[in-house]
Structure 1
Amino acid sequence: MSNLGLQIRQAVPSVDTIVADYTVGYVQHIAESTEDAVLSQQLDIPKEIKFLTEMLISAGGDQKRVQKLSANVQATLTDKLNKNMSKLKVEGDTSQRLLDPSILRAQQRDDTSLAFLNSAVDVEHVGRRMESKVDTKKLKKAEAKIARKMAKKKDTYVKYEASKLIEERKKDDYDSFFLKVNPLDVGDSTGKSKDVKIDSFDLFVGNSQRILSDASLTLAFGHRYGLVGQNGVGKSTLLRALSRRQLDVPKHITILYVEQEYYGDDTSVLQSVLDADVWRKQLLTEQKETNHRIEEIEGLRKEFEEGSPEIKKLDAEQDELYENLEKVQERLADIESDKAEGRAAYILHGLGFSEESQQRPTKEFSGGWRMRLSLARALFCQPDLLLLDEPTNMLDVPSATYLAHYLQTYPSTVLVVSHDREFLNEVATDIIHQHSERLDYYRGSDFDTFYATREERLKTQKREYENQMAYREHLQAFIDKFRYNAAKSREAQSRIKKLEKLPVLSPPEAERQYTFRFPDPEKLSTPILQLLDVSFGYNSKELLLKHVDLDIGLHSRIALVGANGCGKTTLLKVALGELTPTEGSVYKNHNLRIGYFAQHHVDALDLSQSAVSWLSKKYPGKSDEEYRKHLGSFGITGSLSLKKMDLLSGGQKSRVIFASLCLNNPHILIMDEPTNHMDTAGLDALSTALKNFKGGIMMVSHDVHIIKEVCDEVWFSEGGVVKKFPGTIDDYKDYILSEADSAGVVKQH
């Protein structure tokens, strides 16, 4: 039984990948429970296997094959449980002892009784168990889906047993996964190159969709790479493959990938960042346990006479402990453990966490702030290879400015996926363009240089292709005319040979182009939308907005910036009329129509419907063909407009919202982070459409490029005060860095 996942697919050919992964993860969880003194006593393997058997059968599996597979798994797990129980009777629970790591590794290598679970038993560290690799969100989705199938099959709702893994995939899972990817004891890396060079590899999504073919990845240590390409080409998949060492990254190179938000608990924000460096955490724990054992030995010495065998044994153990303690302390000194708390604090401060909020429990923060916390944890760890996926999506302009400044002096390698041009211009030393199942390198380029160079390449390729096609047509015309002419046959044969020797050129790949267009509104008499001495707070003692005066007209192009939590979205909602001011008033022209793009715009969509169906219900009166044509102008072409919106990417859902705004024919567009999830082509189209729009615009955005392209006024929110900034967005960024510098946040590291 060498591959459980393969055997599941043989027994259940139509099984969803999520269900198969979940099953493997569940079996892994049971297997690891057999090794725990407490969990093994509570384990009922037949019951657990029965649950998995019913699940696989309900997912479409052949009953006999599934039962045979289940019997084999049950026998293997029962055998492992019995062996571990026997071992516990003889040795007792050894999970809390300070063991020699080399002994543990030898035991792990010798334990082959569950070969099909080998992906999760190679964590080379004391007292850690590798939890399931099943993604929690997918796991929940799989549970709900199977529950529906079972309910449909039995005509009654069957309560589906919630996964035992969900609540356990928190801090221990992070620690275990970190140590699996970055083992603490990988040997001395001194003198070893930290460049990444992976030649000739293919990369797939699932078992069929190939995203890279015969590609080569080269990352020079210390360079900062921007990975760009259209939505859906597989950039995030490449990062995940690197983060899990599914690609051949040398083991001495440490890797960390900011993939998902941190799970909140009672741990303080500052401590959670310190805990992110699992090596430091483990070394400190080992130092504490070693010192405790040394103290125990000192106490035990009093019970025996000097020179006795017991004293000699204790002396030998103490010598070994002192030797180990010296190595641990050397490692802690190497990673400058004593400076860790100060470094963690200023990283958090730069990302918007005040001194007070750094001491609050992480569970008190929203998802957006937990994403920032994940980013802070990664920056604190300083891996040799730092992988970031759209890091600015959850940041405001001040935090994005700080992050870019921080990464400019990052000492190791960075690979970042981002559609934020300004961010890439400031951070990237090189650009990698992923397209057509390949990776193209633009060395020494920021995004603007890459974009210009690529345009020139495309023009050159187009000229070469057109010239060759014209030359081919010329040769072919001569051949067709004189092939059977005796006087010209030799010349015709010569041209045939020339034609055969010509290299075969493919037409240059042109990226998809979108052309958004917002309809021109009719004129309105002024004033159109005014906030007059507006104050607002969710309670009277803590005002988010204080005495705001703001006038928005048809010619307004206002960018609203400031730290997250300072009231920007609240101000938009007051202007829309969704919130009533505590003081002051909001005036609107009675004919005014506003198009609002919410930061969490997906909540407004009915994801069970297609884009065409949703638009026809929201704005009735047109034919399906008219809705499809309208959606097509926003890049939702062909079958995309007829798919359930749940299947669309984040950028495609955003384009559906933009398409819906147009059908209201708004006078003013009010937008909260409209660029999130948009690729470069979509951002170009949006920028052009907003510049050509004849109505007013007020937007909250972290994307400095689109602010530069569209807006001519920068208003900033700070301490409840909203006012016009006396300068450009670049001047505002300089102001942010100078403020941070004076506060001691921005410094070399």
Structure 2
Amino acid sequence: LDEPTNHLDMESCVWLETELGKYPGILVLVSHSQDFLNGVCTNMIHLTPKQKFVYYSGNYDSFVKTKQENEVNQMRRYEKEQADIKHLKEFISSCGTYSNLVKQAQSKQKIIDKMMEAGLTEKVENERNIKFHFPDCGPLPPPVLAVDNVSFAYSGKKEDYLYWNLELSVDLDSRIAIIGPNGAGKSTLLKLMFGDLTPTEGEVKKHTHLRIAKYHQHSTDQLEMDLTPLEYMNKMFPEKKLELEAWRTKVGRFGVSGDMQSSPIRGMSDGQKSRLVFAYLAETAPHILFLDEPTNHLDMESIDSLAEAINEFKGGLVLVSHDFRLIGKVAQEVWLCEDKKVDVWKGDIMEYKKRLHKEVQRKLKAGLTTPQ
């Protein structure tokens, strides 16, 4: 299974995790969802930057712990070997051409030669250095964004209302995750708040100077594929009048580096394109981030970097995601979309997962083999 959770809602993720946990056959799984890997996998295979496979027993958390311990021990061996070699070479150099020290120098050189033949410990190399960053947006007095008595239907008819009489607000200190089943209207709510959709009744009020950066599942389609990342950024922000070297630094921070920077965007992977979109959004200096399923094409390192950047960000966040771990790291408030309304979930996100697990078990016992 290659990224099986990408387009599933949370209940479907929990159902799949439950079913795969009972699967009697062999399962080979590629996933960026650490929570999902923890619930399903009993062994991990790590593909290193040097294209080597390293095998680990246990789930993802166990893999991370073991890998960190191994790297600490590896660096200790590396540093000791390098110190020993340095000491031996210094002794050999100090011997010079003194006849009475030649044998000792030769003996020390043999020690170095044997160490080299046996194979020296390699230095631990950090994987790609990705550091997402959203600049300081500056203050805005509240209310920044208010959803005032909003009802909505795509048809405009009351009998089709997806939402009734919503009263919500978002400020610069908001850290909100929106959850709920597929079809409950999570993305629709984001579109209403952003302004892509107009309420059937009520109003969405925004501060005059509010800047919102919105990431959604089709954001990468808006990139100009024939341009390079540097050309694209330069074209999108001509008023900044930055040299290409400055753009290199900015997009490089988001993991768009090396030859990738000067090659057409169309040749980039989905994950690389997503990181370029985040570099673009950061350059707009938003007050609020609207992120709709931002992890679908990001690897684990990028997801962790995104979470760190969000936690350092001085503005607000509204997040739609099925990634329990990301929500747990960044959200301070959870909005649950159900039954044509939006309520604040009183517990944390893992308590919501437990609720979903119980619901899945109930449905399985009732003979419903998949989520409705």
TM-score tier by shorter-chain length is over 0.9
Alignment of 1:631-650 (within 5 A): 631-650=251-270
Which structure has the greater CA radius of gyration?
1
4+ long deviations beyond 6 Å: 746-749
Which residue identity lines up with residue 15 of structure 2 in the other structure?
Y
Equivalent-residue separation in structure 1 for 2:194 and 2:141 (angstroms): 19
**Offset of residue 739 of structure 1:** 2.5
**SS of 2:45 mapped into structure 1:** strand
2:19 alignment counterpart: 406
Contact 1:560 1:568 in 2 (8 A): yes
1:306 alignment counterpart: none
Q: 1:167-186 deviations in whole A, cap 9, x for unaligned?
A: xxxxxxxxxxxxxxxxxxxx
Equivalent-residue separation in structure 1 for 2:52 and 2:364 (angstroms): 44
Contact 2:11 2:360 in 1 (8 A): no
2:42 alignment counterpart: 429
Equivalent-residue separation in structure 1 for 2:51 and 2:246 (angstroms): 35
1:736 aligns with 2:350: no
**Offset of residue 747 of structure 1:** 7.9
Contact 2:335 2:345 in 1 (8 A): yes
Equivalent-residue separation in structure 2 for 1:525 and 1:748 (angstroms): 50
Q: 1:396-420 deviations in whole A, cap 9, x for unaligned?
A: 1111111111111111111100111
Equivalent-residue separation in structure 2 for 1:604 and 1:563 (angstroms): 27
Q: 1:220-278 deviations in whole A, cap 9, x for unaligned?
A: xxxxxxxxxxxxxxxxxxxxxxxxxxxxxxxxxxxxxxxxxxxxxxxxxxxxxxxxxxx
**Offset of residue 746 of structure 1:** 7.9
**Offset of residue 745 of structure 1:** 5.8
**Offset of residue 481 of structure 1:** 2.0
Equivalent-residue separation in structure 1 for 2:148 and 2:359 (angstroms): 30
Equivalent-residue separation in structure 2 for 1:486 and 1:729 (angstroms): 75
User: 1:490 is matched with which residue: 89, 98, 103?
Assistant: 103
2:139 alignment counterpart: 523
Aligned length: 361
The structure with higher relative contact order (CA 8 Å, sep 6+) is 2
Return closer, same or farther for 1:519/1:425 CA change in 2, 3 Å cut-off: same
**Offset of residue 606 of structure 1:** 1.1
1:625 alignment counterpart: 245
1:379 alignment counterpart: none
Equivalent-residue separation in structure 1 for 2:147 and 2:361 (angstroms): 34
User: 1:706 is matched with which residue: 314, 317, 326?
Assistant: 326
Contact 2:14 2:360 in 1 (8 A): no
1:691 aligns with 2:311: yes
1:441 alignment counterpart: 55
**Offset of residue 510 of structure 1:** 2.0
Q: 1:141-168 deviations in whole A, cap 9, x for unaligned?
A: xxxxxxxxxxxxxxxxxxxxxxxxxxxx
Equivalent-residue separation in structure 2 for 1:442 and 1:426 (angstroms): 16
Which residue identity lines up with residue 603 of structure 1 in the other structure?
D
Which runs of no fewer than 5 residues in structure 1 stay unpaired? Answer: 1-387
User: 2:130 is matched with which residue: 485, 490, 514?
Assistant: 514
Which residue identity lines up with residue 556 of structure 1 in the other structure?
S
Which residue identity lines up with residue 604 of structure 1 in the other structure?
Q
1:601 aligns with 2:206: no
**SS of 1:726 mapped into structure 2:** coil
- Structure 2 length-normalised TM: 0.93
**SS of 1:554 mapped into structure 2:** coil
Q: 1:414-437 deviations in whole A, cap 9, x for unaligned?
A: 110011111111111111111222
Contact 1:651 1:678 in 2 (8 A): yes
Equivalent-residue separation in structure 1 for 2:188 and 2:113 (angstroms): 68
1:471 aligns with 2:84: yes
Contact 2:230 2:244 in 1 (8 A): yes
1:481 aligns with 2:94: yes
Q: 1:109-158 deviations in whole A, cap 9, x for unaligned?
A: xxxxxxxxxxxxxxxxxxxxxxxxxxxxxxxxxxxxxxxxxxxxxxxxxx
Which residue identity lines up with residue 119 of structure 2 in the other structure?
V
**Offset of residue 729 of structure 1:** 0.7
**Offset of residue 643 of structure 1:** 1.2
1:569 alignment counterpart: 187
Which runs of no fewer than 5 residues in structure 2 stay unpaired? Answer: none
Equivalent-residue separation in structure 2 for 1:700 and 1:595 (angstroms): 14
Contact 1:522 1:667 in 2 (8 A): yes
2:151 alignment counterpart: 535
